[in-house]
Structure 1
């Protein structure tokens, strides 16, 4: 891989580093649990879409704790 093509891979931005660590951690946990990874399937395939959705659920669980039976509305703001 050429670093000139993907300069963000060496980003020193702390937010990027935290997101990368979270992604790697969730990926490692999923692999240990025997779950598939989006990288296991061709991009755009039906299996890839299911794996992306499942991976995103695991990321939300890692960030927020237990998400089962929780109604999460993406893209809308809460009005308190």
Structure 2
């Protein structure tokens, strides 16, 4: 990574614990998805239809990792869960 990259993406070297936790979660979910044979958003050009589907699927896996088992639970992005 050169100096220009660090200037454009200063968060890549963040020591913030929240950033480190989010990065670890993302890497873990990505590794699990790869082991399951699922595609990654990085497999597609940004903004393509396939990329959007992969992002949505990846986000669902992140939510399942954060919330525990949610099999059969339909979580709509942008909506608050009902009690």
Note whether the superposition's TM-score is higher than 0.5. Answer: yes
Q: Which runs of 5+ in 1 are unaligned?
A: none
TM-score (norm 2): 0.83
Return structure 1 stretches of 4+ with deviation > 4 angstroms: 73-80
Alpha-carbon RMSD: 1.9
TM-score (norm 1): 0.85
Q: Which runs of 5+ in 2 are unaligned?
A: none
Displacement after TM superposition at 1:14 (Å): 0.4
Change (3 A) 1:79 1:68: closer
Identify, as 1 or 2, the structure richer in helix. 2
Equivalenced residues, count:
80
